[in-house]
Structure 1
Amino acid sequence: MSYLFSRSELIIVTTLCVPLLLLGLLGNILTILVVWLRPQMRSTTYLYLSSMAVSDILMLVLMPLDLYKLWWFRPWLLGDAVCKLSQFVSECCTFSSILHMTALGAERYLAVCFPLRARLLVTRGRVRALIAALWVVALLSSAPVLVLVGVESVEGGDPECRITQFAQASGLMTAMLWLCNLYFIIPLTLLSLLYGLIARTLRQRAHAHRDHTHRQTLRMMGELRGAT
């Protein structure tokens, strides 16, 4: 049996992760229950949040398996299917959360900068369809992981859940790294642009409101002088 870290380090990590697992599951489950048991909470924003809560729950459910990998990463005794599916679900949930945050940012941009158009375009039915599409994109983007990882022995050693030699030799690993980088760079750039435009719009409205208030004050002062 092989360890990646010392036993004291593993005990500390496990002690920290268990409360996070319980609190995370409780908080995300409550989020889903509140949204779906209270019809008034089913706004488009909360639809995104409840979908992201599902993603978080799946990630948290995998935490015991992640701890298992830290304690007993070699030899791997859970089979090739568990190795592949755990990595696939983890990657899929990560991609899904990024896509959800990007879509939510785009919706906030429409709501602030084009409120009338947003009321026509952003409906609960369309948001539900978009959320389903985001999950499909995340699933397809994560599909290469099923080939990328597997149970293999290195130089005749014990089997472990790792990146396969085929993935390294074929260039699939490099392609997946590029995809992961794009999943962070493109949404980060897009969100930075959208929130910058939101901030500019809010500043312009605040400035216009101050000018309007100033003009009203001057008009009232002029009317009072004329009356006296």
Structure 2
Amino acid sequence: MEEVELCFPQLNTSCWKTKRPLSQTVLIYMVLSFISLLTVTLNLLVIISISHFKQLQSPTNLLILSLAVSDFFVAFDMLFQVMLINGCWLLGDLMCTLYSVLNYTVTSTSIGIMVLISIDRYVAICDPLHYSTKVTPGRVQVCVLLCWILSFFYGIIMLIDILKQPGIYNSCVGECVLSCDIIQQFSDFIILFLIPITVIVVLYTRVFVVAVSQAQAMRSHIAAVSLERSVTITVKKSEIKAAGTLGVVIVVFIICICPYFCVTLKTQDSFTSASSVSIVLCLYDSNSCLNPLIYALFYPWFRKSIKLIFTLQILKPGSCETNML
């Protein structure tokens, strides 16, 4: 049985923390710190790539850029998870409140961006003739901005009690507890999980049905098409490939987020301690590191941009006009 000790030994009202072997503690801290650093670095590469190279600033890539920004902030959440692994919050009630708002905002935004990506791929594959008129960079930017704003206000509404009085639900010093009654838990499950995941699954099911039918049509008629038709087919293939890559991103996202909502929904009491869900939060946060790795695996433009960034080629005049595709 593990030994326990106080988070703040000088305070009688301090919370208890689990005392782990030093080697285990160091290993946990090193792994989480490494993942956090890797998450920051990889997502920063995505942000620089799409922001710098004009050819990459398509509506779809603007959504990827927005996802990278939210993933970038997730890395800071992971730093807080390091201390929560031992069950102690050492930064005070105000920082607990700010951390909770940031986590709510970033989590909600990531989910919203995933829905927007699904809509983007749905229009691109199922209504390609009207894609350029329906999905424009301006409309994408507006949707992304609304996603961030709505996510922020949703977090404010859900955390209104601790915003008014930080630490109001803490039972001891060194705790970071959120007011989370069954109604709030159910609201989170419906708004942040059930509805978005249902929309994503329905849209992507339709996308892959259409993509498969298009691929079969391409194979059956490939020998008889004209040059102009061949160009059209190439465009469709690129859209289908993009749909497949982003489909992998979405599947990984769903796998990482499911345990988080399962654990929080099963919480029996009316409060949720940040430390009690720290493990599933770490799993969810690790998804932010996996996304850029998926881009590197499937997107040649991302690998090329990484090379140009690390060789400092992007500092040359006119580098933003480089052919990346």
Q: CA deviation at 1:96?
A: 0.5
Identity of aligned residues (%): 24
Give the structure-2-normalised TM-score: 0.57
* Alignment-derived partner of residue 179 in structure 1: 187
Counterpart of 1:15 (choices 4, 13, 30) is 30
Q: How far apart, CA to CA, are the structure 1 residues paired with 2:46 and 2:175?
A: 37
Q: Which residue of structure 2 lines up, in the alignment, with residue 63 of structure 1?
A: 78
Secondary structure of 1:3 counterpart: strand
Give me the whole-angstrom Cα distance separating, in 2, the residues matched to 1:86 and 1:153: 15
Map 1:74-223 to 2 at 5 A: 76-143=89-156, 144-147=158-161, 150-151=166-167, 152-154=169-171, 157-163=172-178, 167=179, 173-182=181-190, 183-209=192-218, 212=221
Question: 1:211 and 1:62 mapped to 2: Cα distance?
Answer: 50
Q: Is the 8 A contact 1:113 1:198 kept in 2?
A: yes
Cα gap change, 1:153 to 1:203, in 2 (>3 Å)? closer
Query: Larger Cα Rg: Structure 1 or Structure 2?
Result: 1
Q: How does 1:20-35 map to 2 (within 5 A)?
A: 20-35=35-50
Name the stretch that deviates more: 24-33 or 5-14.
5-14
Which residue identity lines up with residue 84 of structure 1 in the other structure?
T
- AA of the residue aligned to 2:43: N
Aligned residue pairs total 205
Higher helix share: 1
Q: What residue identity is the alignment partner of 1:187?
A: P
Superposed CA deviations along residues 136-158 of structure 1, whole A, max 9, x for unmatched, are 1211221122425842552xx43
Length-normalised TM-score, structure 1:
0.80
CA RMSD of aligned residues (A): 2.4
1:85/1:146 contact within 8 Å kept:
no
CA distance in 2, matches of 1:77, 1:202: 51
Q: Tell me which stretches of 4 or more aligned residues in structure 1 moved more than 6 Å.
A: 213-216
**CA pair 5-162 structure 1, distance change in 2 beyond 3 A:** farther
Q: Measure the CA separation in 2 of the matches of 1:5 and 1:116.
A: 61
Cα–Cα, structure 1 residues 5 and 43, in superposed 2: closer, same or farther, change >3 Å?
A: farther
Structure 2 unmatched runs, 5+: 1-6, 8-15, 226-325
**Mapped partners of 2:143, 2:126: distance in 1:** 21
User: How far is the alpha carbon of 1:50 from its aligned partner?
Assistant: 1.4
For 1:41 and 1:5, how far apart are their aligned partners in 2?
49
Q: Which runs of 5+ in 1 are unaligned?
A: 217-228
